[in-house]
Structure 1
Amino acid sequence: MAMKKDTHGVRGRRPARGPGRPAAVDGDTDGGGPRERLLDAATLLFSRHGVAGTPIKAIAAEAGVTPALVHYYFRDRDQLLDAVVDERLQPLVEQVFPSMPTETGAAASGAAPARGPGPDVVTMMTGLAAQLIRVAAATPWLPGLWIREIVGAEGQLRERVVQRIALRRGALVTGVIAAARERGELNPALEPALVMVSLIGLTLLPLATTHIWRGLPGAEAIDTDTLVRHVSALLSRGLAPG
C-alpha cells in the first residue's frame, strides 16, 4: 500500500522562503526585527546628517543588515521617509497630545465651538509644553531631526509632517486659542496662529542647541525640570490677559 504524501510539511521545519525573500527576514516576526532596526537607524542618522547626507548603505550598516534588505522593506527613499514620519514621529506626537481639551469637543469634530466657558488654556498650553520637553528630552534624535529636516530650508520631511501632523494639530490649538482670546481669557495682543509656533520654538530649540548654550555661565546645571519651569513661566505670563 502506497503511503500518502504529507501535504502539510515536516513538523518543526520552517516553511520555505518566498521568491526574493532574504534569509535575514525570516525572524522578523516582532517589533525587534530588521525592519524596526532599519527605521531606528534611519531616524537616528537623519537627525545627525540629514536625509540628503545619509546613503542607504549607511542605514544598512547602522542596522547591521545588508543594503539589499533596505530595498526589500522600502522600495524607495520616499517609502522610507513615509515610514519615519508615520511610525517614529507620529507616535511621539500622540504622546504630546494624548487628551488635549477642545472647545466642548467641537473643534475635534469640525463643528462650530459652543458658547460658554472653554478649557483653561494657560494650563493646557503649559502642560503641552512640559510634555513636549519631556518627550523630546527622552528622544535624543528628535530635536536634531526637527532642526535638519523640518525647520531647515532643504528639509525633506517638512511637507510630510505639515500635511500629516501639523495642519490638524495646529488648527486645533489655534481654534482653542482664538476662542479663549475672544472670551477675554487671554492676552489680547496674542496672535492665535503663532502660539503653537512659539511653543515649539521655546521647547525644541533649547534642546537642539544644548551644545551652544551649555557653556554659558550658570547653564551647566540646567536640566529638563529647569527647562520645563522656565518655559512654563514664559507661557503662563505671556498668555495671561494682563
Structure 2
Amino acid sequence: MMTERYNISPRVEHFTCMVDLLGRAGLVDEAYARIKDMPVEPNDRVWGALLNACHVYNNMDICVAATDRLFELAPHQSCYYVLLSNIYAKAGRSSDVTLVRTIMKDRGLKKVPGVSNVELRDQVHTFHAGDRSHHQSKEIYEALEVLVAKMKESGYVPRTETALHNVEKEDKENHLAVHSEKLAIVFVLINSRPGTPIRVTKNIRVCEDCHVAIKLISKIAERQITVRDTNRYHHFENGVCSCGDYW
C-alpha cells in the first residue's frame, strides 16, 4: 500500500518495524524471510529486532544467523552480546554463555550496570543493583524480603536461568531480588500513601525477572507502576503490563 497507493518507498526503519511486528506475532521464520528479501541493506536494528524475537520464542537456528550479522555490523554493542547470552542461558547452554562472556572480555566489552531513578517529594533517588548506600537501605531490604515472600505465595518463581552469574541457584535468586528497579519501587512503597502511582526510569532494558516481579507487585500492592527503560514505557497495573510481555 505504501508503494502502490501512496508512492512511498519503504526505508530501513519501516522494515525494522515489520520485522519487529512479525517477531511479536511469533512469525520468526517470516520475519527472517522478510529481511532476506529487503531491497535495502538491513542494519543492526533490523537484526536486533529479529534477535529479540528469537529470545522470546526460543528460535536457536535463526538466532545464530542474526548474531553473525550483528557481530559484523555492531561488534562493540554490548547489548547484543548480553541478549545472546540470555538466549543461551534460557536454553540451558551454559558453555555457550561462558563463550559469549569470554568474547566480551576479550573485546573489552562490559555489561552496562543497571541504574534506576525515582522521584519522591521533588527529590530524585538513585539505586544500583545490590545498593546499600541509601540512608533507608535497612528498611528497604526488610520490606523487600516481606514483599518477595508475598510474591512467592502468589506463584512467583525467580527467573534464575537468565542470571549470568556462575553461582548457586540461591545466590542467583538473591542477586535478582536486589535489582535496582525493585529497590526503587520498594523505596516508594514504604514512603508514600497507598494508591500513589510509582514511576521509575532505568538506563537499560528491564530484565525478565524484574518484569515478572513488577507485574505481581502492582497487584499485591495495588499500585500503578510505570517503568521507562531503554526500549519503551511499561505500565503495570493489577498484574498486567501494557507491553504484553514483549519488549
* TM-score where L is the length of structure 2: 0.29
Q: Which has the higher contact order (CA 8 A, sep 6+)?
A: 1
Higher strand share: 2
Higher helix share: 1
Normalised to the residue count of structure 1, the TM-score between the two structures is 0.29
